[in-house]
Amino acid sequence: MTETIKKFMNDSAVARWSALVLIASMMFFAYMFVDVMSPLKSLVEQSRSWDSTVFGTYAASEYILNVFGFLIIAGIILDKMGTRFTGMLSASLMVIGALIKFVGITEWFQGTGFNVWLGSWWPALPGSAKMACLGFMIFGCGCEMAGTTVSKAIAKWFQGKEMALAMGLEMAIARLGVFAVMWISPLISAKFNQSIVAPIGFCTALLLIGLICYTVFVVMDKKFDAQLIAAGRMAEEKSAEDEFHISDLGKIFSSKMFWIVALLCVLYYSAIFPFQRYATNFLEVTLSIDAENAARLFSCFPILAMALTPFLGGFLDFRGKGASMLMLGAIIMVVCHLSFAFILPIFPKQWFALLLVVVLGVSFSLVPAALWPSVPKIIDEKILGSAYCLIFWVQNIGLCLVPLLIGVTLQATGGYLVPMLIFASFGVMAFFLTFLLKIEDKKKGYGLEEPNVKK
């Protein structure tokens, strides 16, 4: 017999937004750790005998295990074990990976016999780099698993409420982590006599705090589940029908909407994140300015995206138009990349470049704000975690391959015209997919154009 519960935990604005702060804090610290060594590249190369190739191998190691199937396993774990277990596992993997990386980069490790042994095979990669790569691979597994877990947890706590706003705020907080570490990491390094160990140790400690934050969320989520069970809105034990099965992956792979969203995701993000790697040099070359000014100019891109995403999420919650926002975001991206390719080289003004960067930031706000809250509308809740992980998996494949494609093209052509056209072509294909998405939504009535908040 079920109890009559008039108010659930997520009906309380304080409770649901507190839950968001706890899980978003974990992602904030995770994103800080991702880029903690980025501002220290030259220092790492000098003090640990790395070169740019070694640093690039280290940077790529975050995605390796995910591309080779871990994200698929992560999705199965998430749907079989739930957000509490998976979140704790992902947070723990991040801490373990961070500790391995921290040990590998310390001065103490450089003098050990184990470091000498590691450096004896594949000498092109020093022992410290091998340890850093191992730690970063484990951390990357936890970080990507955490990203999908957080999305599913937000979908649960904000169902029928401000879901898009909540997801937008989570993304904004995570991006703030990247911005913060770009300033904090060099400051800590300078404070401790140009140390590379101190910033990594600091961010590792923050990951431990993130694990504690998620532990508190787990306690809240258990109480919320108890309410749902008592009210009969959730079974204490999953029935055979509700239980996730490996065969359910076939439902995802056979879903036309899943493939439209997954391909839209990989095409869109492949025109954004790889572009970020080359944007500073592109502006430096095109505008004939130094790297420092080019970096400052492009820094406006993530800041504006961070600021706009929550507001666009709020618009999506109360007004809807998710599919239309995706279409508009793709159009803006195409216009910006074509302008970078053809207009900026013949009109190399910094104010115009800044305008293009800012407008591209609007696109980067529109698409994520509309994309991730749309997934729960097209995928069954019991396989939602696997769907998110499979989308991330497809995205990770693109993020591994596209930078290589751009690098080879840049080397072969000696200029940025063709690379920018490649980025623009991704946008054109993404626009085509948003058009298909809108047609399919109209046919099947998924509600992508409808508000998330139910009145």
Q: Which CATH superfamily is domain 10-243 in?
A: MFS general substrate transporter like domains (1.20.1250.20)
350-362 pLDDT, tens digit each: 999 999 988 998 8
Out of 2.170.120.40, 1.20.1250.20, 3.40.50.720, 3.40.50.12780, which CATH number does the structure's domain 248-445 have?
1.20.1250.20
Domains of the chain, by residue range, sit at 10-243, 248-445
pLDDT at 277 over 70: no
Q: What burial letters (b/e) apply to 400-439, b meaning 16+ CB within 10 Å?
A: bebbeebeebbeeeeebeebbebbbebbbbbbebbeebbe
Where residue 1 falls among pLDDT bands split at 50, 70, 90? Answer: very low
Mean pLDDT of 337-350: 95
Where residue 206 falls among pLDDT bands split at 50, 70, 90? Answer: very high
Mean pLDDT is highest, among 21-25, 32-36, 260-264, 374-378, for 21-25
Q: Six-digit token pair at 24? A: 């978003």
227-243 pLDDT, tens digit each: 888 876 655 555 444 45
CA distance 170 to 151: 9
User: pLDDT value at position 422?
Assistant: 95
User: pLDDT value at position 241?
Assistant: 46
The one-letter amino acid code at 313 reads G
Per DSSP, helices labelled H in 271-383 are 273-287, 291-298, 300-319, 322-338, 350-378
User: pLDDT value at position 355?
Assistant: 94
Mean pLDDT of 171-183: 79
145-169 pLDDT, tens digit each: 898 889 889 888 888 787 778 887 8
Mean pLDDT is highest, among 36-50, 58-72, 122-136, 308-322, for 122-136
Number of other residues whose CB lies within 10 A of the CB of residue 316 = 29
Q: Do domains 10-243 and 248-445 have the same CATH topology?
A: yes
